[in-house]
Amino acid sequence: MRIPHRHLSRREAERLLDDPAGHGSALGSALAAAAGPAQPGELGREDAAAAVFQRTAMVPSPGDSPAVVPVSRSGGRAALRAVVATSAVVALATGGFALAGSADLPHIPGLPGQASDRATESAAKDPQSSEASSTSDTPGDEASETGGAGSSGPGTSGSSTSGPGASGTGTSGPGASGSDRPPSSSTTTSASPSSSTPTPPASTSSPTRNLHGVCRAFQATDHSANGKSLDSTAFAALADAAGGADRVAG
């Protein structure tokens, strides 16, 4: 049965959209065909997707996994230095906010302060290109942008360049920071300026998620790097969750 288009009312259109197959028209059949059962070819990349899922999403969720932060081992000092290096990497990814809070950070191979400055400058100078290169895709990204902008007040340490800049830096940042950690860390940690206040993470969910990101950044870092900026806010949150700075292991 064909329904001439001139007879298609809005009400009829809604019925068609709700139940194309039940409409009994050629148009309904065409729409039903478009929504037909999955074809084998459409699932050809399932195994590949599952492999990526295993690699990317198997990091235990924050709620049930204090084990994300490994418990202590004897080499506490080395671990602390590694975490400091991590916070510097996080600082790079987030526009240098944490690095600015640690003036006595020595020049570390692979983590030069100049690189951080350049990253911060470029993010600040050229917000347009940062935004263009950022992957402002998900509702979550928008949330992190909002959080970043909100955190640029006097309360946060250093020159937070806010979410968009940080996220843009994160996209191209790993090269500058000399780290091979995956973009996931920077994406997740880009929200950290908004919550890395001196107070420990409370019951809200976003600090936990940020902590998760910091922890992932930590795990992906070259732990042999040196550093001693122990008062980084990003680190403080991580150490708090671990039950003390000396309980964070590399």
Partner 1 sequence: MLAGDERAFRTVYRAVHPPLLRYLSVLVGRSEAEDVASEAWTQAFRDLDRFTGDADGFRGWITTIGRNRALDHLRHARRRPSDERTVEEMVDLLDDADVEGDTLGRVTSDAALALVASLPPDQAEAIMLRTVLGFDAVTAGQILGKSPGAVRAASFRGLRQLAKKIDRHP
Structure tokens at 103: 């003036």
Using the contact rule CB under 8 A, the part of the chain among 3-11, 77-85, 120-128, 159-167 near partner 1 is 3-11
What span, in angstroms and rounded, lies between the C-alpha atoms of 191 and 188?
A: 6
Q: Does residue 56 belong to the site contacting partner 1 (CB under 8 A)? A: yes
Question: Is the Cβ of residue 96 or residue 213 nearer to partner 1 in the bound state?
Answer: 213
Q: Does residue 66 belong to the site contacting partner 1 (CB under 8 A)? A: no
Single residue of 72, 184, 219, 226 touching partner 1 by CB under 8 A:
184
CB 135 within 8 A of CB 141: yes
Q: Does residue 17 belong to the site contacting partner 1 (CB under 8 A)? A: yes
Single residue of 49, 73, 75, 243 touching partner 1 by CB under 8 A:
49
Single residue of 22, 33, 200, 224 touching partner 1 by CB under 8 A:
33
Sign of CA dihedral 166, 173, 208, 73: negative
What span, in angstroms and rounded, lies between the C-alpha atoms of 89 and 102?
A: 13
How far does Cα 117 stand from its chain's mean position?
Answer: 21
Q: How many residues bind partner 1 (CB under 8 A)?
A: 59
Longest dimension (CA), the chain: 80
Minimum separation from the CB atom of position 134 to partner 1 (A) = 10
Using the contact rule CB under 8 A, the part of the chain among 99-107, 165-173, 205-213, 217-225 near partner 1 is 205-213
Mark 104-143 with x for binding to partner 1 (rule: CB under 8 A) and - for no binding.
-------------------------------xxxxxx--x
Residue type present at position 128: Q
Looking at residue 202, the DSSP 8-state letter turns out to be -
b/e 93-122 (16+ beta carbons within 10 angstroms → b): bbbbbbbbbbeebeebeebbbebbeebbeb
CB 100 within 8 A of CB 225: no
Single residue of 30, 129, 200, 243 touching partner 1 by CB under 8 A:
30
Site for partner 1, rule CB under 8 A: 2-5, 8, 10, 13-14, 16-17, 20, 26-27, 29-39, 41-46, 48-50, 52-54, 56-62, 64, 135-140, 143, 182-184, 187-188, 205, 209, 212
